[in-house]
Amino acid sequence: MDDQLPSMSNNPQQVPPVPAKKKPWLWIGIAVAITIVVLAIGVGLMFLLGSMSKPAQKTTSTSAATKTLFDALGKAASEPIIRVAMLRRTYATKADLASNTNPGTIQSSVAEISSQNFRALYAQRLFTQDSFSMQRCQDNNTTYIDGGAGTGRVQPKTLAEANEYLKQMYLVTQPLQFIICPHAGVMPGGGPDLAPARLSDGVMPVTLSKSQADQWKARAAELFEVTDQGMVAHGGKQLHKYSFAPRGEAADMNERLYDIFYETAEIDNIKRDHPKAEWVYEYINVNGGRRGGVQGFYLIDDTTGLPAYSEVQGIDKDDTRDTPVARATLGFNKQTYAFPTALTIELTSPLEILE
């Protein structure tokens, strides 16, 4: 019997396996539990950090949008040649502006400037007038006017009719005072608020030096909240839309924008060293009298880093007085921008009516 039943102590292969199997599974179970706990903690931390980082991400995005927009505006402000086509209207109240009813002024213009030359054409209807007056400026001091009622021609009632009228204008051979040519689009006596052919859109100045433009954009950008609204189709191109609004109160925003321009453009030095130099055209507020603030949007060409189109709207309290001046309270400008290598306006160039 002893030969048939070997002793278990003499045959290690017969040792019961159960205790040996319990140990590795125990450690495996502990490791899995630790892994689950670590993963849970990691996921929790990721969620917590993600939620904590959301406000910072929003701030970064807004800051990035502001930098991109004002880099583009600063670059445009220092371009040696700029061409701006503009449609401008003014209103007494926000409701009138929103519905485009009862405008005080209507202006359509195309203007361009270089360091040596200025060209422009415009049609303008002011306040209680029922028809448009027009001028062409070709090469600084060569002016063409509509001739007024004395010509026997019927003054145009619409911008479309004004465009036809502009095809036949009268060369000025006398030293007239109320012409825009010598003043880069600003009408003498009317001041910048009534400038018929504007290059400034109400936010961005023009023809600054590079260093002046850099100072301007750094200071002006602080007044705005900018939102990146992505790509949009406009004029057959894909452009980047950035909307802007006042960062704080808008009550004195236009006054502050003017002060920033005046200081960074070194206007006091210009007035002292070159008393006859034209500089008023470089920046003109969207609202009359530098009142209120401004909001709107720009479309930026990402390939050039320059603005291609914008809509700029004045902000101010409604003026409910029934007067012509009241209807100039809120300005609204639409404009296209181009930066050619040479001036492009000719005597046959039409208005670009941005309806």
Which residues span the domain enclosing 146? 64-338
Domain count of the chain?
A: 1
pLDDT score at 35: 42
Instruction: For residue 183, report the phi and psi dihedrals to the nearest 5 degrees.
Output: -120, 25
Q: How many CA atoms lie within 13 A of 68 on its CB side?
A: 24
- In a domain, residue 14? The reply is no
Can you read off the two tokens belonging to residue 342? 């040479």
Q: How confident is the model at residue 25 (pLDDT cuts 50, 70, 90)?
A: very low
Is the CB of residue 284 less than 8 Å from the CB of residue 295?
Answer: no
Mean pLDDT over the full length of the chain: 85
Beta bridge partners of 297: 243, 311
What is the widest separation between alpha-carbon atoms in the chain? 146
- In a domain, residue 46? The reply is no
How far, in Å, CA of 66 to CA of 290, rounded?
Answer: 23
108, amino acid identity: S
Average the pLDDT over 278-297 and give the result.
96
> Buried b / exposed e across 254-289, counting CB within 10 Å, b at 16+?
bbbbbebbeebbbbeeeeeeeeeebbbbbbbbbbbe
Closest C-alpha to 315, from 336, 299, 332:
332
Residue 267 has pLDDT above 50, yes or no: yes
Q: How confident is the model at residue 179 (pLDDT cuts 50, 70, 90)?
A: very high
Report helix, strand or coil for 8: helix
- In a domain, residue 347? The reply is no
Closest C-alpha to 216, from 77, 72, 67, 65:
77
Can you read off the two tokens belonging to residue 330? 């809120």
Instruction: For residue 313, report the phi and psi dihedrals to the nearest 5 degrees.
Output: -120, 135
- When mean pLDDT is compared across 66-70, 188-192, 280-284, 351-355, the lowest value belongs to 188-192
Report the sign of the C-alpha dihedral through residues 215, 244, 83, 196, in that order.
Answer: negative
194, amino acid identity: L
- In a domain, residue 223? The reply is yes
- In a domain, residue 45? The reply is no
pLDDT score at 149: 66
Q: Are strands 330-338 and 133-138 parallel, antiparallel or unpaired?
A: unpaired
Closest C-alpha to 122, from 175, 186, 79:
186
Report helix, strand or coil for 335: strand
Is the CB of residue 241 less than 8 Å from the CB of residue 298?
Answer: yes
How far, in Å, CA of 212 to CA of 1, rounded?
Answer: 113
The percentage of residues in the chain with a pLDDT greater than 90, rounded to a whole number, is 75
Closest C-alpha to 315, from 235, 227, 254:
254
Can you read off the two tokens belonging to residue 108? 């359509």
pLDDT tens digits, 202-252: 999 999 999 999 999 999 999 999 999 999 999 999 999 999 999 999 999
Q: How confident is the model at residue 138 (pLDDT cuts 50, 70, 90)?
A: very high
- In a domain, residue 160? The reply is yes
Strand order in 118-126's β-sheet? 170-171, 142-145, 133-138, 118-126, 105-113, 82-91, 330-338, 306-315, 293-301, 237-246, 224-234
How far, in Å, CA of 296 to CA of 199, rounded?
Answer: 17
- In a domain, residue 106? The reply is yes
pLDDT score at 53: 38
How far, in Å, CA of 51 to CA of 61, rounded?
Answer: 16
What count of other Cβ atoms lies within 10 Å of the Cβ of residue 161?
15
- In a domain, residue 1? The reply is no
